[in-house]
A and B are shown apart, each in its own frame.
Chain A
Amino acid sequence: MGMLRVLSRRGDDQYEWNVSQVEAGDQEAEAAVREAERIFREERARGSTAIRVQPGEAPQKIDEFDPHAKEIVMIPRVIGG
């Protein structure tokens, strides 16, 4: 399972997808990935930072949506305070 977490005032909005089902050709699973990718691009266009978080690995900043990621956290645009 993959998960996109978009940090927001509501805590975090979560979007899940199942890679193995996508690879098996499940249409619902493909739609879920496409939706997650659309949100990813939308958030990136708004200036959000995307970070891939994998268990046992250091977090990594990414520019492109990774459907094989275990978890992607999107942080809204930041400014100097």
Chain B
Amino acid sequence: MNNFLPVSVTVLIILITFARIVQLVSLCPSATSRVWPWLRLQRWWPVAADHTAELLLRDMLTPKEYNQLRLRALLEIPSQLYPGRVYQVPRGPGQVMVLEGGRVVERLCLQPLEALPEADVILMHKLLLETDEKTYLATANHFPRPTWH
């Protein structure tokens, strides 16, 4: 009994420290955008929907696009209607940023009616913007640029 208590306390401290490290890493987008997708690509990943969606996203994007998403946690899609405009689709929750001349001019919010895995949402934005940008812009809610941009 005397030995058990210190051991259990040590294990508890290790677990709390590990959880805290995971929590801190999760707050950093550039870390999560590399770690979670890599984990989801593994066959043993327990959530089949996330695994399937990540595989599909990797297959649909060019290596350059997928690398950009991995390194910057966002995917840049050039506008086909407005020269010089770029849409930045974030990995994870957040709005799509509209950039013109390198500056954010507005934010867009568009979501599927049915919940989709994170990777499928990125693919959704990409395909809709590339095939029917006009309808995308007409459907999305538009918000002014944030003051810090």
The residues of A with any CB-CB pair to B shorter than 8 Å are: 5, 7-12, 47, 49, 51, 53, 58-61, 73, 75-81
Contacts and interface: CB of A to CB of B under 8 A. Distances in A.
Interface of B: 48-53, 56, 60, 95, 109-117, 120, 123-124, 127-128, 130-132, 139-141
A9 B21 CA distance: 30
Nearest to B130: A59
A11 B141 CA distance: 25
B46 to A, nearest CB: 13
Given A53-B60, A81-B110, A8 B116 contact: yes
Given A8-B116, A9-B117, A60 B52 contact: no
B89 to A, nearest CB: 13
B75 to A, nearest CB: 14
B131 A12 contact: no
Given A75-B112, A78-B110, A10 B132 contact: no
Contact of B131 (A8, A9, A59, A80): A59
Contact of B124 (A47, A60, A75): A75
Contacts of A10: 48-49, 52
